[in-house]
Amino acid sequence: MSLIQIQQDEKIRSTVADSKIQRAVYSATARLKEKRSEVVSADALPEYQELRTQANLIKKHTLENLDFYLEEFEKNLTANGGKLIWARDGKEVADFILGLAKERGVKMLVKSKSMTTEEIHLNDHLEAHGIDPVETDLGEYIIQLAHDRPYHIVAPAVHMTRLDVADVLEKNLKVEREEEPEKQAMIARRTLREKFLAAGIGISGGNFLVADSGAVTIIENEGNARLTTSAPRIHIAVVGIEKMIPRAQDLAVFLKLLGRSGTGQLLTVYTSFLSGPRRAGDADGPDEFYVVLMDNGRTRLLADSEKRQSLYCIRCGACLNACPVYRKIGGHNYPGAYSGPIGAIITPQYHGIKENPWLPFASSLCGACAEVCPVKIDIPKILLELRKEVVESRAADSDSFAERKAFQMYAWMMRKPKLYALAGKIGSKLAGLPGLTSFGPAAKWARTREVPRPAAKSFRDEWRDRKKGGR
């Protein structure tokens, strides 16, 4: 076992033991789950399953023909007066933004919520080069001030209480302490309003890239994304290549699913469909409009037709709320920007399975994630695929030698019924001894689990007796 795994184990245990975090995450996810269930019920949305099937079909088709749609998007965006930047990885994204900022003399920029820029640690890159990126989504802003990282795809500060927020605002903004969320939000509104109006560049993510329109679609509730994309002279949208859909008309399907699955809203407060810089006669809007299309590991997933569906994700966060493991271990114990079931399948695929081999195992395979996924990604199936890859890649490793031997022995014994029965008898006696799970590998296993007491009579014995008794 590697040092990283041991540290992760410690971290997970401390999260599970932290009653404040447990309460915050459990109640927030319970509420999001409940709100989602209400608006996708058969009464509220009879066509829900049909929409999911259609969304899945569109994503499948788009990714199977992705090169065509990437080029179509480029052609249409360019015709609208926008510029397309292709980026192989996070460094190329950062280099482009740094270069443009330097050329235009921009020292401060505003950002709306973007998991893609979290994924590539864009803020760290910018800060290292003297550019000040200001997060403007309320939760992200608090997280940035606290030097923390997002805990949930749609609710980044879900692990903090209002008292934590009061501390963060008081300490960082030198304002009078406020413990009411409403007043805290107004402090952020005042502070960030000045930033919006002064920033030279606005950076957003994008929920959908629309090929037939050369447009980026952004959904949000606060208005910070609209401000980010409207107030500064330059708008840069950083979006993963997998966010493509063929037509604007397909949004009729995706928008109905995204708000409902994420927060239980029929639509989020603002849906912006942005297709280029301001046009002649427009009263406002950016003079320059860039879309940065980022790969960063995504093309690696495309080759496998089964695992390709990991790229269908529209980042609603419903699988996090549904997942018993996420709700227990929280968002910070997943490596990378994406947590929960979707993080467990995309992080190892983007960055390689060897980096975080434990991740595909952080699931009970209960299937709750697949059930709520609006684009029908079969997450448990992909987890199993990845587990297989992990096991295969570790088969040669010396530290799994004992495990391999144990399974070989088990397989051998399974083919010998008499021997199996005898071993079962001995095993059940041994397992009943209290000291057995106090040390060695069994102790580690038993730390977070109840050791089941073996039944007094084995199933085999019971079966035989019943047959004898004629039942």
| Distance of closest approach, residue 407 Cβ to other proteins, in angstroms | 34
Burial class (CB in 10 A: 0-12, 13-18, 19+), 258: buried
List, as one string, the DSSP characters of 277-319: SPPTT-SSS-SEEEEEEE-TTHHHHHSSTTGGGGGG-----HH
Check if the beta carbon of residue 142 is closer than 8 Å to that of residue 165. Answer: yes
Q: Which is nearer to other proteins, 224 or 333 (CB)?
A: 224
List, as one string, the DSSP characters of 434-470: GGGGSSHHHHHHHTTSPPPPPPSS-HHHHHHHHHHTT
**Main-chain phi, psi angles of 72, to 5 degrees:** -65, -40
| Distance of closest approach, residue 301 Cβ to other proteins, in angstroms | 8
Q: Which is nearer to other proteins, 118 or 250 (CB)?
A: 250
| Distance of closest approach, residue 371 Cβ to other proteins, in angstroms | 22
| Distance of closest approach, residue 375 Cβ to other proteins, in angstroms | 13
Q: Which is nearer to other proteins, 88 or 388 (CB)?
A: 88
3-state DSSP assignment of residue 110: strand
Q: Which is nearer to other proteins, 31 or 425 (CB)?
A: 31
| Distance of closest approach, residue 265 Cβ to other proteins, in angstroms | 8
| Distance of closest approach, residue 100 Cβ to other proteins, in angstroms | 16
Residue 275 gets which letter from DSSP? -
Check if the beta carbon of residue 94 is closer than 8 Å to that of residue 120. Answer: yes
List, as one string, the DSSP characters of 196-260: HHH-SEEEE--SEEETTTTEEEEEESSSHHHHHHHSSSEEEEEEEGGGEES-GGGHHHHHHHHHH
Neighbours of 257 (CB within 10 A): 22
At 73, which amino acid appears? F
Q: Which two tokens stand for residue 145?
A: 């001030």
Report which of 82, 95, 91, 123 is spatially closest to residue 237, judged by C-alpha positions: 82
| Distance of closest approach, residue 102 Cβ to other proteins, in angstroms | 19
Q: Which is nearer to other proteins, 182 or 450 (CB)?
A: 182
Q: Which is nearer to other proteins, 16 or 248 (CB)?
A: 248
3-state DSSP assignment of residue 43: coil
Q: Which is nearer to other proteins, 9 or 212 (CB)?
A: 212
| Distance of closest approach, residue 470 Cβ to other proteins, in angstroms | 60
